[in-house]
Amino acid sequence: MSKQIKQLEQLLGQEIKRDEPLAQYTTYKIGGPAKYFFVAKNNDDLVQIIDLAKRFKIPHYILAGGSNLLISDEGYHGLIILNKTNEIVFKNNGRVVADAGVNLFELVNQTAAKGLSGLEKLAGIPGSVGGAIRGNAGAYQSEICDYLIGVEVMRGSKQFILDKDKCEFKYRDSIFKHKGDLIISGEWELVKGSKVESKKLIEEILEKRKDGQPLECPSAGCIFQNIIIDSSNLDIIEQIENLPKEYLEYKKLPAAWLIDQAGLKGKQIGDAQISEKHANFIINKGQATADEVVQLISLIKMKVRDEMGLQLLEEISYLGF
């Protein structure tokens, strides 16, 4: 692969780093080194490096905010592309375009400051715009796709706008989790609101997060998806003891509640711990390894499956395993 990397450097006219530690680029502060590492400062850089990596058949992965991600202790034996694109463009009629590398909270703050409403409830969700679109990030009955109208993508060597209805958004899911499309930017059509009210709502959301989540320790965010209640699992769920009725009304069963019911809150392996504050967070208490986190994830899945008959699915992604 080193020969192809040298060719990449010649064509890019930029250096590609070797053996770059990755823990510093993730919210978990966990993970080994990338064999090769490149910083894309703008969309031209991003498109060019992706195109060349595909042409030379170099394994690659795009990293931006580094949330919802667990990197193995051995790192990644390929090319990590750090997406540092950061442009936000305000257009007419409440429309705003943001590069995939933009910090999601920055987008929330800037739109609110312009008197545009619709993204406030996403305040405090860690990560980038691209990652949020890919995983259809959301909180408090709001999702990134709610006001989205299109996503600029690169598919193969072609760049085009993919309309929202073709993005296949579902709960914590989209077409981008299953296709090799590169997300370049997203465009939203927001509604005119009050700067004061938007700021107030953002502050309320941040306070809720502070009260209910272990923000004092590094984490990847929620480890598991909540369970959508439907005809396929209703009979099993109705048999669970002490089940709050509101979960059946909202048709959503929180993974944190299941983990708590399994008696796993506070369980610790090494420096990885299932948070005592929010059971769907596995926190890094100092020098946690990816292997320790994986052991806790496996324990949670086994206990919930064996004791309640439900299979939890990870919300986080794995890299280098």
**DSSP assignment of 185-206, as one string?**
EEEEE-EE--HHHHHHHHHHHH
pLDDT for position 3: 87
Residue 263: which region, alpha, beta or left (left: phi > 0; alpha: psi -120 to 50)? Answer: left
Q: Do the Cβ atoms of 97 and 186 come closer than 8 Å?
A: yes
List for the chain the helix, strand, coil content (%; round to 5). Answer: 35, 25, 40
Tell whether the model's pLDDT for residue 113 goes beyond 90: yes
| Average of per-residue pLDDT across 186-200 | 97
Q: Is the dihedral angle over the CA atoms 107, 109, 115, 121 positive or is it negative? A: positive
Query: pLDDT band at residue 175, thresholds of 50, 70 and 90?
Result: very high
Mean pLDDT of 85-113: 97
Query: Residue 2 above 90 pLDDT?
Result: no
The predicted pLDDT at position 67 comes to: 96
Q: Which of 139, 299, 129 is nearest to 221 (CA)?
A: 139
Determine contact, residues 118/146, Cβ cutoff 8 Å.
yes
- Is the per-residue pLDDT at 95 higher than 90? yes
Paired sense of beta strands 252-253 and 142-143, if any: unpaired
**pLDDT, average across residues 290-302:** 98
pLDDT for res 305: 98
How far out from the chain centre does Cα 113 lie?
A: 24
Structural domains in the chain plus CATH codes:
2-83 (3.30.43.10), 88-198 (3.30.465.10), 214-319 (3.90.78.10)
For residue 15, give the amino acid letter.
E
Percent share of the chain, pLDDT over 90: 95
pLDDT digits (tens, 9 = 90+) for 236-295: 999 999 999 999 999 999 999 999 999 999 999 999 999 999 999 999 999 999 999 999
Half-sphere CA count of 144, side-chain side, radius 13 A:
35
Q: Name the nearest CA neighbour of 208 among 140, 300, 132, 151.
A: 140
Q: What is the mean pLDDT of residues 101-119?
A: 98
Confidence check: pLDDT of 52 > 90: yes
Q: What is the chain's mean pLDDT, rounded?
A: 96
Angle at 266 between CA 265 and CA 269, to 5 degrees: 120
pTM: 0.93
> 169 in helix, strand or coil?
coil
Kindly report, residue by residue over 145-172, the tens digit of the pLDDT. 999 999 999 998 899 999 999 999 999 9
CA–CA separation, 321 and 97 (whole Å): 34
8 Å CB contact between 214 and 280: no
- Position 157 scores a pLDDT of 86
Q: Is the pLDDT of residue 8 over 90?
A: no
